[in-house]
Amino acid sequence: MALMITDECINCDVCEPECPNNAISQGEEIYVIDPNLCTECVGHFETSQCVEVCPVDCIPIDPEHEETREQLVTKYEHLMAASA
């Protein structure tokens, strides 16, 4: 499952640099997460780093992009191969 940032985002800038896949970027009004790049930090960390640092808890699982852990691992492997 990819994560998403809700409109409760306060644009504090702490989540973007924590993302190992560069899935987080500044949107029109708030930060956004690209579901094609988000692996919930699978392959990098035990927990989602953006969720860990978010001071307002505005980063839930995106119900429109549900993925199993195996799918996240496959996505991680594909992203790492593409960046090599």
Helix (H, G, I), strand (E, B) or coil at 44: coil
User: Residue 79 and residue 68: Cα distance in Å, rounded?
Assistant: 16
Residue at 68 is within a domain: yes
Position 73 in a domain: yes
Q: Residue 9 domain-assigned?
A: no
Amino acid at 35: P
Q: Which residue range is the domain that position 28 belongs to?
A: 16-83
The answer to the question of residue 5 being in a domain is no
pLDDT tens-digit profile, the chain (84 residues): 799 999 999 999 999 999 999 999 999 999 999 999 999 999 999 999 999 999 999 999 999 999 999 999 999 999 999 887
- Return all residues near 23 (Cβ < 8 A) that are at least 6 apart: 2, 33, 34, 35, 36, 37, 38, 39
Closest-CA residue to 43 (of 81, 1, 77, 78): 77
**Number of separate domains in the chain:** 1
Is 8 a member of any domain? no
What CATH number does the domain containing 47 carry?
Answer: 3.30.70.20
Inside any domain, residue 1:
no
Task: Output the six-digit token pair for 32.
Answer: 């956004």
Does residue 45 fall inside a structural domain? yes
